[in-house]
Structure 1
Amino acid sequence: MTPRQRRVLQALLYEAIAVAMVGPAVAWMFATSLQSSALLALAMSSIALAWNYVFNALFERWEARQTVKGRSLGRRLLHGIGFEGGLVLFLVPLMAWWLDISLLEALIADLAILAFFFVYAIVFTWAFDRVFGLPESAKA
């Protein structure tokens, strides 16, 4: 599979699973309708999908220049922190507007979601690599 195909497949699988988990969780956390939370989850997913593709392309470009190859726990943690940290910049304003709350409240709410997704991103990427193999950028 080409690097581009790999990134697209990874992003689509990641987001499909995420939407299935986030929609009901947002409805429960914010006492909102499942319809509203599903639309918010889809909007967040669309943003995350685009960010996932861009971030992974940038990360793999950086990774290819590293002398130590492979994906250690440290590199996986760096990947998770970079991805989720960038996502905060996009999602907090969206959540504040959608839920009609302050940016601070949205940040606090997003931190709970991000805590879950931080672990999810690391576990998902590890599982994806196990099933589909490491990308060329991580091979020796």
Structure 2
Amino acid sequence: MKTIERIFQAVLFEAVALAIVVPTSALVGGYATEKMAIVGIALSTFAMCWNYLYNILFDKIAGESRQIRGAATRIIHACCFELGMVIITLPVLAWYLNITWLAAIILETSFLIFILFYTLIFNWLYDNYQPYQRLVNRS
């Protein structure tokens, strides 16, 4: 996958996630839609930046040869990525939404569970449908 398609995939991933998360969290959680839009955009932006920085750091620690990484390394990679996200975003969620730490933990846990399943479904659909290739071939 070329860089331009990776960017397209990342932006599409985040845009669809926001289209689902913002209204759902506003409806189910009772949060103001405007606040959830800001939270969603901030989390998406942070996730993309954190993903970039985290993977550079992880590659330096684990070695650049990603093809030989086993399941244990990949599990550690995913768990540490999410831990980094939570450490930064949990206090920000509690502060910005003016909610308790418990409410922030519940909200963050809901996001993590959603993203787990969403990532699986999105990437499976993306790989099978190949929207970037269809868009480029149409031009």
TM-score, length-normalised on structure 1? 0.67
Instruction: Tell me how many residue pairs correspond in the alignment.
Output: 129
Runs (4+) of structure 1 moved beyond 6 Å?
72-76
As a proportion of its length, which structure holds more helix?
2
Contact 1:77 1:122 in 2 (8 A): no
Q: Rate the CA distance shift 1:127–1:83 in 2: closer, same or farther, 3 A.
A: farther
Matched, 1:34 2:37: no
More RCO (CA 8 Å, sep 6+): 1
Equivalent position SS for 2:68: coil
1:1-140 equivalent positions in 2, closer than 5 A: 2=2, 4-5=3-4, 7-58=6-57, 62=62, 64-66=64-66, 68=68, 80-128=78-126, 131=130
Runs of at least 5 residues in structure 1 that lack an aligned partner in the other structure: 133-140
CA RMSD of aligned residues (A): 3.3
Equivalent position SS for 1:101: coil
Structure number with bigger Rg: 2
Contact 2:35 2:97 in 1 (8 A): no
Q: Rate the CA distance shift 1:6–1:60 in 2: closer, same or farther, 3 A.
A: farther
Runs of at least 5 residues in structure 2 that lack an aligned partner in the other structure: 132-139
TM-score, length-normalised on structure 2? 0.68
